Chain A
């Protein structure tokens, strides 16, 4: 590999290659040497790091053995990222690690803290090895610093994203519990909607209903709005969309318990109530649904029926 490529290239502008490389070629060699040194002193440096973690009172939710175990794999992955320059493997590891430690109650500042501590422990080790020669030290830090900072950011961001994903999941689960879809008999679903509907809950409702239609092979859905006091135009629109979406998936929707105010809102936003199947109350809706289902079953010609 000739050195011509790096001539005239601005060394402070670290290009990012496809796949997310951390370094350009002039740094690669330096980093390889550093990694070799850091690997050689693995045991000792890892212990220094672990003890600094404990005195900083990070990871108090974990036992010392657990900390040592995680420290080992973080250390190795850290060196791996330094050496190969690949962000992808590190991102995957960060997500995996986060998935494990978040349920243990580990917080963001702890994760950021321990990664920065590792960066510092390794930096000091590099200082003591290369500190005698100013020029060499500068070269070493030129290679090490951007890479180490990139690693710290990747791990921290990965952790935060994983936390947010888990929180969103939990919120979804909570919302699901509050809008049950009931399968009453074959092909018939009842969806009682209770309480105030905000756009997010309305969207959740639609997704749940559509899933429910598929799972239960429903042909008719009775959507009961008795428990819905009032809705604004946006949510009313969403209810209409839910009815349409259900039809597209393959089920007809009968709307029951439509209060006059709600009906007015629907008309105001341009809904043709003539096209929407509405029945006064839930009971009436279920009867209507059963009639619909009766008609949809294959008709038996009169002659064949036992008289």
Chain B
């Protein structure tokens, strides 16, 4: 089940509509990371509204993904975590620490737009 990745301005948007297996999630991660490089995107929005469950594997994979995307100079924001899923995550001690979250696609875009713009020079310095 391949999740479509859309390009909007210099952001990438991926919306998970249905339930994903471990393999699907890993594939998505790799594709997003690759496309950030290819399109030189500065932001990625991952909409996980369709995920029925976020367990230790998904959390780990998403954290890795955000980290890998950051290494390519882009920010990730995860949107659409459902209340029941969020509740289960915190009960089981799973944290998406360090990964920004927002309510939905609209809020995710607002978040990315509101970040201070980086100059190319600063970017190089950070690396």
Contacts and interface: CB of A to CB of B under 8 A. Distances in A.
B90 interface: yes
A242 B86 CA distance: 9
Contacts of B107: 217, 219, 250
Interface string B52-95: 00000000000000000000000000010111011101110001
B41 interface: no
A213 B104 CA distance: 11
A13 B20 CA distance: 43
Nearest to A249: B86
B83 A249 contact: yes
A248 interface: yes
A249 B101 contact: yes
A245 B101 contact: no
Contacts of B113: 298
Given A244-B90, A296-B110, A210 B83 contact: yes
Contacts, number: 60
B114 interface: yes
A249 B81 contact: yes
A156 interface: no
A214 B114 contact: no
B101 A248 contact: yes
Nearest to A208: B83
Interface string B82-124: 1101110111000110000111100100110110100000000
Contact of B81 (A211, A242, A248, A298): A248
A213 B87 CA distance: 13
Chain B contact patch, size range:
20 to 34
A214 B83 contact: yes
A295 B96 CA distance: 23
B87 A250 contact: no
A207 B87 contact: yes
A34 to B, nearest CB: 47
A153 interface: no
Interface in A192-220: 206-207, 210-211, 213-214, 217-219
A246 to B, nearest CB: 8
Contacts of B86: 210, 245-246, 248-249
A210 B86 CA distance: 9
Contacts of A211: 83
Contacts of B111: 296
Contact of A248 (B96, B110, B114, B116): B96
Most buried by B among A244, A251, A299: A244
Interface string A17-44: 0000000000000000000000000000
Given A248-B90, A248-B101, A251-B103, 15 more contacts: A207-B87, A210-B87, A218-B103, A245-B86, A245-B89, A245-B90, A246-B86, A247-B101, A249-B82, A250-B79, A250-B81, A250-B102, A296-B114, A297-B114, A298-B114
Interface of B: 79, 81-83, 85-87, 89-91, 95-96, 101-104, 107, 110-111, 113-114, 116
10 contacts: A210-B86, A213-B83, A214-B83, A219-B103, A241-B90, A248-B101, A250-B79, A250-B107, A295-B114, A298-B113
